[in-house]
C-alpha cells in the first residue's frame, strides 16, 4: 500500500516538473514564433500586392525607369515628350484665334461688296488648331501634323464645312544643310506672307494680295537645302512638284504643278518664317527671294479649303474632264524681308497670267504689299515693352470679268495695327484698322470702305 502511494506521488512530481518546463519557452520556440510572424506579414503583403497590382517599392522602380527613358517638359508653347537617347520626340500644341470684326469679315472685292453688302458685327473663333510635330529614328527626320478643329461657316453653308480636318501633314528629311526633301501636304514654300503662320503675323490677317496670288496647301514632294551657310553667298533653294488640286485632292487632270524658289540671305544669316521682330535681332538679318510656279488644271485660286476660283471664273466642279486642265496659271514673285533690333520690314511683288483655254482669253494680275513694324524692347521709354506699331500698304490689279481681259479693277489697302505681345506670338492681342478702296476702270468710279478688327491669339 505504501509502495503504491509513493509511486503516485513520484508521478505527480514528474508531471509538475514537466509542466514547469513546458511553460518556459526554449530558444527554438522563440525562433519558430518569429518565423511564423514573418510569414504572416508576408502573406498580408502578398494580399495587398494582389489588390493594388504593385507595391510602393515597385512603383518607385518603374517610375525611375520611365524617367530615365522618357523625358516630359513644357516647351513654350506645347508639351513635349523625348526619349533619353533623343532619337524620338513629340510635341503637342493647342491654339485658338478669337476675332471680332466690323463691318466686313473678308476683304470687299467687287462693287457690290462696297455698295450693297450690309454691315455685320461679328465674333468668331477664326482658327482652332491642334499641332503635333517632332522627329523619329534620327533628329533630321521630322514630321508635322495640324488639325483645324472647327472652322467658322456662314448660316447657309453645310455643317460639313465646319468639321475638323487635317490641313497639314508632312515628313521632312534633312540629313545635311545642303540637300534634303519633304513629302506630304503643306503651304508650299512659294512666298513668305502665305507660309508665315497666321499666328506669327504682324496684322490680324494677311493682305489683300494673298487671296489672289497664294498657292496655299498642295500635295507633293520638294527638294530643299541651304548653301554657303553664314557667308555673303548664303542662300536657300526649294524645287517641288505637286498635284495642283489643293488640299487633300487627288490629281485627275494629267498635269502637275511645278514650283521653284531661290532665297539669298544677303547678310549671311537666316530669317525664320514669321513676322515682327519679337526676338530682337541683335544683328541685321535680311533676305531677297524670287519664286516661280506654273500649273494646268481646274483651279484658278487656292485657299486652306482647297481648290477654288477667282472672281467671275467658273467653279472647279464645273471644269470636269475633258476640260479639267482648262486653266493655265503662270506666276512669279519678288520678295524682301529685313529685321534689326525690333524693326521688321517685309515686301512682295506679284505678277500672274491666267489663260482660259475654253475662251482663249488671257488675264493679267499684278499685286504688291509692303509693311513695316517696330516692336519696343525697352528702347522707347514712353511705349511699354512688347508693344508693336505697324503699317501696311497693298494693291491688286485684277480682271474685272472672266470674259473681259481689257478692263480691270484696282483695289488698295491701307492698314495700321498695334500688337501687344504678352508672351511673344504665343499670346498676343492685335487691333488693326483698314481703309479699303476699289477703282473700276470700266466706269472710272471709286469706292471705299473702313474696317476694324480685334483679335486674341493664344497657344498652349
Check which CATH number belongs to the domain holding 353 and give it: 2.40.160.10
pLDDT, position 81: 94
Element (H, E) at 374: strand 361-375
Q: Roughly how many angstroms between the first and final C-alpha of the chain, as a whole number?
A: 107
Tell me, letter by letter, the H, E, C secondary structure of 284-341: CEEEEEEEEEEEEECCCEEECCEEECCCCCCCHHHCCCCCCCCEEEEEEEEEEEEEEC
Residue 332 covered by a domain: yes
Do 61 and 113 belong to one domain?
no
Burial (CB < 10 A; 0-12, 13-18, 19+), residue 248, is middle
pLDDT, position 243: 94
CA distance 329 to 255: 12
Candidates 455, 459, 460; CA nearest to 205 is 455
Residue 141 covered by a domain: no
Do 53 and 107 belong to one domain?
no
Per-residue pLDDT of the chain (460 residues; tens, 9 = 90+): 434 434 443 444 433 343 444 345 556 566 556 656 665 665 666 555 555 554 444 444 444 555 567 889 998 899 999 999 999 999 999 999 999 999 988 899 999 999 998 899 999 999 999 999 999 999 999 999 999 998 777 776 667 677 889 999 999 999 999 999 999 999 999 999 999 999 999 999 999 999 999 999 999 999 999 999 999 999 999 999 999 999 988 888 788 999 999 999 999 999 999 999 999 999 999 999 999 999 999 999 999 888 999 988 888 888 766 567 889 999 999 999 999 999 999 999 999 999 998 889 999 999 999 999 999 998 888 889 999 999 999 999 998 888 888 888 999 999 999 999 999 999 999 999 999 999 998 888 999 999 999 999 999 9
Residue 426 covered by a domain: yes
Do 56 and 112 belong to one domain?
no
Domain span including residue 210: 99-123+187-459
Candidates 455, 444, 449; CA nearest to 208 is 449
Do 49 and 103 belong to one domain?
no
pLDDT, position 322: 59
Do 118 and 36 belong to one domain?
no
Residue 263 covered by a domain: yes
pLDDT, position 382: 83
Do 223 and 276 belong to one domain?
yes
When divided into structural domains, the chain yields a total of 2
Residue 130 covered by a domain: no
Residue 402 covered by a domain: yes
Residue 400 covered by a domain: yes
Candidates 387, 383, 367; CA nearest to 375 is 387
The reported pTM is 0.83
Do 65 and 105 belong to one domain?
no
pLDDT, position 369: 98
Do 246 and 292 belong to one domain?
yes
Task: Write the CB contacts of 341 (distance below 8 Å, at least 6 apart in sequence).
Answer: 277, 280, 281, 282, 377, 379
CA distance 103 to 99: 13
Do 36 and 114 belong to one domain?
no
pLDDT, position 98: 96
pLDDT, position 108: 94
CA distance 370 to 383: 24
pLDDT, position 47: 57
Residue 196 covered by a domain: yes
pLDDT, position 441: 87
Do 53 and 115 belong to one domain?
no
Do 43 and 114 belong to one domain?
no
Amino acid at each position: 500500500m505504501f509502495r503504491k502511494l509513493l509511486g503516485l506521488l513520484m508521478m505527480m512530481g514528474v508531471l509538475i516538473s514537466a509542466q514547469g518546463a513546458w511553460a518556459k519557452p526554449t530558444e527554438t520556440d522563440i525562433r519558430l514564433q518569429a518565423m511564423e510572424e514573418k510569414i504572416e506579414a508576408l502573406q498580408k503583403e502578398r494580399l495587398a500586392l494582389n489588390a493594388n497590382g504593385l507595391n510602393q517599392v515597385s512603383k518607385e522602380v518603374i517610375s525611375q525607369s520611365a524617367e530615365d527613358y522618357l523625358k516630359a517638359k513644357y516647351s513654350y508653347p506645347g508639351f513635349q515628350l523625348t526619349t533619353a537617347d533623343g532619337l524620338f520626340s513629340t510635341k503637342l500644341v493647342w491654339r485658338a484665334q478669337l476675332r471680332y470684326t466690323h463691318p466686313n469679315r473678308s476683304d470687299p472685292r467687287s462693287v457690290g461688296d462696297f455698295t450693297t453688302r450690309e454691315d455685320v458685327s461679328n465674333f468668331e473663333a477664326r482658327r482652332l488648331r491642334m499641332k503635333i510635330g517632332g522627329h523619329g529614328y534620327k533628329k533630321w527626320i521630322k514630321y508635322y501634323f495640324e488639325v483645324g478643329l472647327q472652322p467658322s461657316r456662314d448660316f447657309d453653308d453645310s455643317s460639313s464645312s465646319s468639321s475638323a480636318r487635317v490641313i497639314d501633314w508632312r515628313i521632312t528629311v534633312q540629313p545635311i544643310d545642303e540637300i534634303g526633301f519633304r513629302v506630304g501636304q503643306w503651304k508650299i514654300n512659294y512666298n513668305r506672307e502665305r507660309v508665315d503662320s497666321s499666328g506669327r503675323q504682324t496684322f490680324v490677317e494677311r493682305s489683300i494680295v494673298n487671296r489672289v496670288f497664294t498657292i496655299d496647301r498642295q500635295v507633293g514632294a520638294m527638294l530643299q537645302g541651304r548653301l554657303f551657310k553664314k557667308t555673303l553667298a548664303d542662300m536657300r533653294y526649294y524645287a517641288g512638284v505637286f498635284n495642283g488640286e489643293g488640299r487633300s485632292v487627288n490629281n485627275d487632270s494629267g498635269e502637275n504643278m511645278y514650283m521653284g524658289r531661290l532665297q539669298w540671305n544677303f547678310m549671311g544669316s537666316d530669317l525664320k518664317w514669321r513676322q515682327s521682330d519679337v526676338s530682337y535681332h541683335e544683328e541685321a538679318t535680311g533676305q531677297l527671294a524670287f519664286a516661280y510656279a506654273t500649273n494646268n488644271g481646274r483651279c484658278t485660286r487656292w485657299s486652306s479649303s482647297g481648290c477654288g476660283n477667282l472672281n467671275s471664273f467658273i467653279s472647279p466642279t464645273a471644269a470636269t474632264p475633258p476640260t479639267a486642265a482648262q486653266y493655265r496659271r503662270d506666276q512669279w514673285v519678288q520678295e524682301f524681308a529685313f529685321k534689326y533690333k525690333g524693326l521688321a520690314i517685309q515686301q512682295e511683288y506679284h505678277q500672274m497670267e491666267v489663260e482660259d483655254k475654253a475662251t482663249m482669253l488671257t488675264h493679267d494680275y499684278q499685286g504688291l504689299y509692303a509693311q513695316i513694324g517696330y516692336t519696343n524692347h525697352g528702347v522707347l521709354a514712353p511705349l511699354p515693352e512688347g508693344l508693336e506699331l505697324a503699317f501696311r500698304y497693298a494693291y491688286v490689279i485684277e480682271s474685272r470679268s472672266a470674259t473681259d481681259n481689257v478692263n480691270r479693277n484696282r483695289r488698295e489697302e491701307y492698314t495700321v495695327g498695334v500688337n501687344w505681345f504678352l508672351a511673344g506670338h504665343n499670346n498676343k492681342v492685335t487691333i488693326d484698322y483698314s481703309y479699303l478702296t476699289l477703282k473700276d476702270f470700266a466706269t472710272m468710279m471709286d469706292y471705299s470702305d473702313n474696317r476694324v478688327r480685334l483679335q486674341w491669339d493664344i497657344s498652349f
